[in-house]
């Protein structure tokens, strides 16, 4: 038991150390004359205070950003899965598209936001589209890799059972792809929230990003502190989304979790 | 979950009269005929000849080993017989037809060096996989899978997951799976190669036991271990390094059933020595 | 196999050609009911490169000055941090590494408004955002590279009485190179995102601003042209890093 107790102690010590550094830094920054100093690096308790003083506004904005992100996440995942299955049907199809999938991941999503906004002229639709777009890439790349992750001997085995392509997909490739699918989903979940917030940053009139933006421009010290509140919520939500994916993997494919725990 | 070996006692030792054809191997009809088979990979300057004019016969219901050093093409030979690849030259006849025909008729149960069990299936579901693909109803699949797990001594582990089992146990599951649909041919590609020496020797005697309970099954076994080949086989096709050629075909007349004690008999040691000399002389040419 | 190589090269080219042809033929606009001001045609985008090339060129310069600065500083800082971690006792370094890993998973982009509070100067604002986004990943990867050395190699070094500096230079550093390059490739996208977010946020200069501005002026092809430049730049940077890595450490390209 002493190993896990030692771990807990070390984690506690780390948290305390971080808080200490934070307090020290905030004290240093706020010691000067800068009127915005409080907003630049507030004390932890000030951040908590900001969050609880503005629950209504922050809550509403969070819900807007989150809701669209979730819709986009679901759409992007479904489209990505279907797309991967289609691509797996033909080697030529796959060879043709995979380079563009990889190249597509190189495009900074934020650059597309104004363009997409220009097309749809609607903040909500843009958020869903961007979130779906980000999720689509992550999921498709993951599933395509997962579908091909079975060892060659497994294919020989299936060949000895005289399986057709569909049977191979059903009995071998799709189950083999499930772990990678969840990896892709776990990465995409917080990113789709980020995408939704990016839309706000790029000029939407609501959402967490809008609060950050408004706090930045309008501001003053108390207003600017709202940035921290929004940021903390964003980070926490992102973390919770990733955990939600991990949890769903535990439900859908419990053996994967057990395997990893065993180090298999 | 502690990975204890399944009880060996459950497998038991076969009785001599147990359904096993003890007629001399050479006198039986050939189940597999390999005639002048050549296999080259690639073309032009970078072509690699894996097999060069290989010929031998596998009698019905016998245990034949392909023995040779790594890279002598014996794994390739097995895949040619199984219809997984096509020879570049020569012919292979399996049970009167081409390897591909028999593959489609699901004549081959294959065991690889890695167990290749599916993590997302339980042990029982893994064994039942071929039957499920063939569309057998669930009750029938389950019954047959349990029968085979019993045969390999893993009856109590049917609801376990593959990674909870040791290497030897996983291979036993793979063997059970290969026998599920009672194929006439059992093809094994260095199935015990990934196991430690002691487990390996245990698995060898166990394989003989399992085989004796599935009389009539023709086994083609790939190995680079001389003692393994001598212990298990009726016939050994000794092959040379790349390009793979047949050095000699040796019929092993040791009586069955063979056990651990057989390893210590004079006849066994003599045959081993003969093969070792053969391979040694080849290397020093 | 030869036919496989042919396929890998030809298939995407054919796909691209067909895609562009369909696009140019107005098909996407018709099918989705989109005006040309929303989705311009390829030839319009191409002419945007030549027509207003001055604006585009200066925007490119502004953006990539910040990208280069942030990329270099961020990766450099990350590497130095990894070196620093090497000097710390194992347990502490592991903890810090864990924290950095967690930081890396956070939506760092959201820090852009925060950085805006601190820094006014446009280029430094962008570069700093990039540095914050990039250095955690690099420090984690570099640290892993410096420490994931085969213990047998270290034993061998001890047995021939190699000095600490020799161990570092010949074993740890060499081992770290592939990890460092992986982190750098990963940071290419992050740098681009970071800079463009800042540009769109602060509407100051650079390609991000250019996109926003062009759309305001209904010059959609200009905006699309800017996106194309960003995408191509990202691909080129990524490919360049691959090439450089192959030149420096050809042995790390064994098929694993």
Q: How confident is the model at residue A158 (pLDDT cuts 50, 70, 90)?
A: very high
Check: CB of residue C128 under 8 Å from CB of residue C115.
yes
pLDDT at B268: 93
Q: Indicate the helix (H) or strand (E) that contains B56.
A: strand B48-59
- What is the tens place of the pLDDT at every residue in A29-53? 777 777 666 667 778 888 888 888 8
A220-252 vs A208-217: helix axis angle to the nearest 10?
A: 160
- What is the tens place of the pLDDT at every residue in B14-44? 444 344 555 566 677 788 999 999 998 887 7
Where do the DSSP E strands lie in B95-245?
108-111, 185-189, 218-223, 235-239
A169 in B contact zone (CB under 8 Å): no
> Which residues in chain B are closer than 8 Å to A178, comparing Cβ atoms?
120
- In angstroms, the CA C113 to CA C129 distance is 9
Helices (H), chain C: 2-24, 27-32, 42-51, 53-87, 90-105, 112-118, 122-147, 151-159, 164-166, 174-202, 206-216, 220-248
Phi, psi of C146, deg, nearest 5: -75, -25
Among the listed residues B172, B246, B261, B181, the one whose alpha carbon sits nearest the alpha carbon of residue B214: B181
Q: What is the mean pLDDT of residues B108-118?
A: 93
Tokens of A238: 């992102």
Among the listed residues A206, A200, A190, the one whose alpha carbon sits nearest the alpha carbon of residue A58: A206
More reliable by pLDDT, B105 or C6? B105
By mean pLDDT, which of A222-236, B51-65, B72-86 is the weakest? A222-236
Among the listed residues C195, C97, C188, C108, the one whose alpha carbon sits nearest the alpha carbon of residue C148: C97
Among the listed residues C132, C249, C87, C99, the one whose alpha carbon sits nearest the alpha carbon of residue C182: C249
> Which residues in chain C are closer than 8 Å to A197, comparing Cβ atoms?
107, 109-110
> To the nearest whole number, what is the mean pLDDT of chain A?
85
Nearest CA in chain B to A260: B163
With a CB cutoff of 8 Å and minimum separation 6, the contacts of B90 are B34, B35, B36, B37, B38, B53, B54, B55
Distance from CA of C167 to the nearest CA of A (A): 30
C171 in A contact zone (CB under 8 Å): no
More reliable by pLDDT, C170 or B90? B90
C117 in A contact zone (CB under 8 Å): yes
Among the listed residues B282, B276, B209, B264, the one whose alpha carbon sits nearest the alpha carbon of residue B236: B276
Check: CB of residue C141 under 8 Å from CB of residue C147.
no
Q: How confident is the model at residue B109 (pLDDT cuts 50, 70, 90)?
A: very high
Q: Do A161 and B119 touch (CB under 8 A)?
A: no
- Residues 163 through 192 of chain B touching chain A, CB cutoff 8 Å: 163
Q: What 8-state DSSP symbol labels residue B255?
A: -
Q: What is the mean pLDDT of residues B91-100?
A: 91
- In angstroms, the CA C56 to CA C206 distance is 9
A 10 A CB-CB count for C177 gives 15
> Which residues in chain B are closer than 8 Å to A160, comparing Cβ atoms?
82, 84, 103, 106, 108-110
Check: CB of residue A87 under 8 Å from CB of residue A97.
yes
C152 in A contact zone (CB under 8 Å): no
C8 in A contact zone (CB under 8 Å): yes
Check: CB of residue B251 under 8 Å from CB of residue B60.
no
Q: Do C220 and A228 touch (CB under 8 A)?
A: no
- Residues 49 through 78 of chain A touching chain C, CB cutoff 8 Å: none
Q: Do A95 and C11 touch (CB under 8 A)?
A: yes
By mean pLDDT, which of A13-17, A70-74, A143-147, B237-241 is the weakest? A13-17
C193 in A contact zone (CB under 8 Å): yes
Partner residue facing A106 (CB), from C16, C189, C207 = C189
Residue of A151, A161, A174 to mutate, testing the B interface (most B Cβ within 10 Å of its Cβ): A161
User: Could you tell me how many CB contacts below 8 A there are between chain A and chain C?
Assistant: 140
- In angstroms, the CA A146 to CA A181 distance is 7
Is 90 exceeded by the pLDDT of residue A13?
no
C16 in A contact zone (CB under 8 Å): yes
Q: Is the dihedral of CA A257, A261, A264, B4 positive or negative?
A: negative
Nearest CA in chain B to A166: B133
Tokens of A9: 């102690």
Burial class, A166, CB count within 10 angstroms (exposed 0-12 / middle 13-18 / buried 19+): exposed
Q: Do C113 and A216 touch (CB under 8 A)?
A: yes
Partner residue facing C200 (CB), from A92, A110, A193 = A110
Strand partners, B30: B59
Q: Do A235 and C112 touch (CB under 8 A)?
A: no
Q: Do C227 and A107 touch (CB under 8 A)?
A: yes
Is 80 exceeded by the pLDDT of residue A112?
yes
Half-sphere exposure of A181 (CA within 13 A, CB side): 23
Vertex B25, ends B21 and B31: CA angle to 5°? 90
Is 80 exceeded by the pLDDT of residue B6?
no
Tokens of C146: 């410096």
Half-sphere exposure of C82 (CA within 13 A, CB side): 28
- In angstroms, the CA C169 to CA C67 distance is 30
Q: Is the dihedral of CA B44, B50, B51, B57 positive or negative?
A: negative
ipTM: 0.85
Tokens of C61: 């310069």
Check: CB of residue B55 under 8 Å from CB of residue B227.
no
> To the nearest whole number, what is the mean pLDDT of chain C?
84
- In angstroms, the CA B9 to CA B153 distance is 8
3-state class (DSSP) for residue B110: strand
Check: CB of residue B276 under 8 Å from CB of residue B224.
no
Highest mean pLDDT among A13-17, A20-24, B187-191: B187-191
Tokens of C244: 């450089």
Q: Do A106 and C7 touch (CB under 8 A)?
A: no
Q: Do A111 and C196 touch (CB under 8 A)?
A: yes
For chain A, percent of residues with pLDDT exceeding 70: 94
Strand partners, B66: B222, B237
Q: What is the mean pLDDT of residues C54-81?
A: 90
Among the listed residues B190, B192, B194, B214, the one whose alpha carbon sits nearest the alpha carbon of residue B203: B192
Q: Indicate the helix (H) or strand (E) that contains B33.
A: strand B30-41
Q: How confident is the model at residue A221 (pLDDT cuts 50, 70, 90)?
A: low
C220-248 vs C174-202: helix axis angle to the nearest 10?
A: 170
Check: CB of residue A137 under 8 Å from CB of residue A105.
yes
pLDDT at A219: 63
Strand partners, B223: B67
pLDDT at B123: 95
Check: CB of residue C189 under 8 Å from CB of residue C6.
no
- What is the tens place of the pLDDT at every residue in C238-254? 999 989 988 887 765 54
DSSP characters over B88-106: SEEEEEETTB-HHHHHHTT
Tokens of C51: 């027509």
Tokens of B249: 């075909």
Tokens 């010949």 correspond to C170
Tokens 């915005």 correspond to A36
Strand partners, B111: B188
Check: CB of residue A65 under 8 Å from CB of residue A207.
yes
pLDDT at A28: 81
Q: Do A110 and C39 touch (CB under 8 A)?
A: no
CA B244 to chain centre: 19
> Which residues in chain A are closer than 8 Å to B120, comparing Cβ atoms?
175, 178, 253, 255
Is 60 exceeded by the pLDDT of residue C256?
no
Peptide bond connecting B257 to the previous residue in cis, omega within 30 degrees of 0: yes
- In angstroms, the CA C97 to CA C103 distance is 10
Partner residue facing A255 (CB), from B114, B116, B119 = B119
């Amino acid at each position: 038991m002493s190993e896990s107790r030692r771990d807990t102690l070390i984690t506690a010590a780390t948290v305390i150390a971080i808080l200490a550094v934070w307090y020290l830094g905030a004290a240093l920054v706020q010691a000067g004359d800068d009127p915005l100093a409080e907003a630049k690096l507030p004390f932890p308790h000030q951040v908590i205070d900001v969050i609880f003083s503005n629950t209504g506004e922050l809550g509403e904005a969070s819900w807007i950003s989150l809701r669209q992100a979730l819709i986009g996440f679901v759409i992007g995942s479904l489209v990505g899965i279907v797309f991967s299955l289609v691509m797996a049907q033909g080697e030529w199809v796959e060879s043709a598209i995979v380079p563009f999938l990889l190249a597509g991941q190189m495009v900074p999503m934020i650059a597309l936001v104004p363009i997409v906004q220009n097309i749809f002229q609607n903040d909500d639709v843009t958020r869903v589209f961007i979130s779906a777009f980000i999720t689509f890439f992550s999921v498709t790349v993951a599933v395509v890799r997962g579908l091909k992750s079975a060892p060659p001997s497994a294919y020989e085995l299936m060949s000895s059972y005289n399986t057709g392509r569909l049977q191979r997909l059903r009995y071998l490739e799709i189950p083999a792809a499930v772990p990678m699918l969840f990896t892709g989903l776990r990465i995409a979940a917080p990113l789709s929230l980020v995408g939704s917030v990016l839309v706000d940053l790029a000029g939407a009139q609501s959402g967490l990003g809008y609060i950050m933006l408004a706090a930045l421009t309008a501001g003053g010290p108390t207003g600017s502190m709202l940035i921290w509140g929004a940021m903390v919520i964003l980070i926490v939500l992102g973390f919770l989304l990733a955990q939600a994916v991990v949890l769903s993997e535990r439900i859908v494919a419990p053996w994967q979790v057990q395997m990893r725990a065993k180090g298999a | 979950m502690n990975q204890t070996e399944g009880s060996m006692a459950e497998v038991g030792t076969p009785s001599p009269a147990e359904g096993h054809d003890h007629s001399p191997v050479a006198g039986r009809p050939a189940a597999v005929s390999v005639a002048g088979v050549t296999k080259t990979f690639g073309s032009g300057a970078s072509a690699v000849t894996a097999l060069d004019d290989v010929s031998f016969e596998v009698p019905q219901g016998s245990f034949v080993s392909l023995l040779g050093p790594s890279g002598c093409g014996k794994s390739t030979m097995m895949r040619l017989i199984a219809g997984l690849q096509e020879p570049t030259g020569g012919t292979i006849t399996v049970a009167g037809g081409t390897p591909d025909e028999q593959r489609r008729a699901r004549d081959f149960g294959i065991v690889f060096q890695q167990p290749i069990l599916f993590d997302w299936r339980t042990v029982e579901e893994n064994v039942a996989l071929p039957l499920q693909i063939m569309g057998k109803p669930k009750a029938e699949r389950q019954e047959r899978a349990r029968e085979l797990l019993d045969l390999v001594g893993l009856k109590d582990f049917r609801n376990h997951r593959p990674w909870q089992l040791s290497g030897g146990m996983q291979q036993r599951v793979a063997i059970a799976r290969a026998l599920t649909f009672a194929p006439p041919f059992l093809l094994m590609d260095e199935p015990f190669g990934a196991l430690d020496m002691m487990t390996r020797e245990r698995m060898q005697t166990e394989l003989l036991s399992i085989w004796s309970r599935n009389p009539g099954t023709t086994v083609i076994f790939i190995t680079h271990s001389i003692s393994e080949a001598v212990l298990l086989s009726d016939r050994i096709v000794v092959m040379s390094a790349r390009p793979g050629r047949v050095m000699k075909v040796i019929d092993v007349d040791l009586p069955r059933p063979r056990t651990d004690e057989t390893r210590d008999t004079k006849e066994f040691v003599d045959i081993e020595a003969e093969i070792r000399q053969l391979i040694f002389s080849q290397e020093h040419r | 196999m030869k036919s496989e190589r042919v396929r890998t090269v030809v298939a995407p080219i054919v796909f691209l050609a067909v895609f562009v042809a369909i696009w140019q033929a107005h098909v996407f606009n018709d099918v989705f009911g989109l005006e040309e001001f929303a989705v311009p045609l390829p030839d319009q985008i191409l002419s945007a490169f030549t027509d207003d090339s001055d604006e585009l060129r200066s925007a490119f310069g502004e953006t990539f000055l910040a990208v280069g600065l942030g990329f270099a500083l961020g990766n450099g800082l990350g590497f130095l941090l990894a070196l620093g971690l090497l000097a710390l006792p194992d347990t502490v370094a592991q903890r810090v590494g864990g924290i950095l890993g967690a930081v890396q998973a956070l939506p760092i982009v959201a820090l852009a408004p925060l950085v805006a509070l601190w820094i006014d100067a446009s280029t430094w604002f962008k570069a700093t955002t990039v540095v914050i986004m990039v250095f955690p990943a690099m420090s984690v990867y570099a640290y892993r590279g410096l420490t994931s050395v085969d213990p047998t190699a270290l034993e061998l070094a001890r047995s021939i009485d190699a000095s600490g500096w020799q161990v570092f230079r010949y074993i740890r550093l060499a081992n770290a190179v592939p990890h460092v390059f992986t982190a750098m490739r990963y940071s290419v996208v992050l740098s681009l995102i970071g800079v463009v977010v800042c540009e769109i946020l602060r509407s100051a200069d650079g390609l991000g601003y250019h996109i926003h501005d062009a759309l305001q002026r209904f010059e959609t092809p200009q905006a699309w042209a800017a996106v194309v430049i960003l995408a191509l730049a990202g691909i080129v940077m990524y490919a360049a890093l691959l090439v450089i890595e192959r030149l420096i450490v050809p042995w790390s390209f064994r098929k694993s």
